[in-house]
Amino acid sequence: MNGHYYSKQPDASHDRQQWRAMLRGMNFQFVSDAGVFSKGGVDYGSRVLIDSMNIPVRAQVLDVGCGYGPIGLTAARLAQQGCVKMVDVNERALQLAQENAAQNGIHNVTVQESDGLAALAGERFDVILTNPPIRAGKEVVHRIFEQSYEQLNEQGALWIVIQKKQGAPSAEAKLHTLFGEENVELVTKDKGYRVYRATKR
């Protein structure tokens, strides 16, 4: 069964939709499709992360599990003199992310297939962003955290959004183990969603 948004090749019948969204005060136009996460609009958790994230203008940014692109494309507009890499396992999502970058006139992005950070060996980032694939299981989510720690530059930050009832306590504990408790900040809480920033020192 490949119906999940974290499948490499979703088997859901195509159902392309086009709509607009305002993110960080900027207008975007998105195309989405069946078989990708939150196809009908930018999900609340991603919006909470987008509203919270701090993206330096020259940052090298990674969006893990980019879907059709709202988090990474917003980051790309904020990192005007930097660049954003957007990765996902879902081939349909990657195609949409590429399409959405083009139709929004965003050129400082690259879109690449990767299971977590597995295909990015040796690459380093200043900021890593993820609305992790909770339904793929805790092991997958925690592996993304581990890989992110290894591939962050010194003083780089991992930003995650996660629901309290879908694993926030265990995610926070894992971040404490990797980054040190003093380097993990609960940035915001909003309707059960929590955004954490973990800084590598």
pLDDT over threshold 90, residue 39: no
In whole angstroms, what is the distance from residue 191 CA to residue 45 CA?
A: 9
Parallel/antiparallel/unpaired status of strands 109-113 and 83-88: parallel
Quickly state the pLDDT bin for 137 (edges 50, 70, 90).
confident
pLDDT per residue as tens digits for the range 92-132: 999 999 999 999 999 999 999 999 999 999 999 999 999 99
Other CB atoms within 10 Å distance of the CB of residue 102: 11
pLDDT at 15: 83
For residue 20, give the 3-state DSSP assignment.
strand
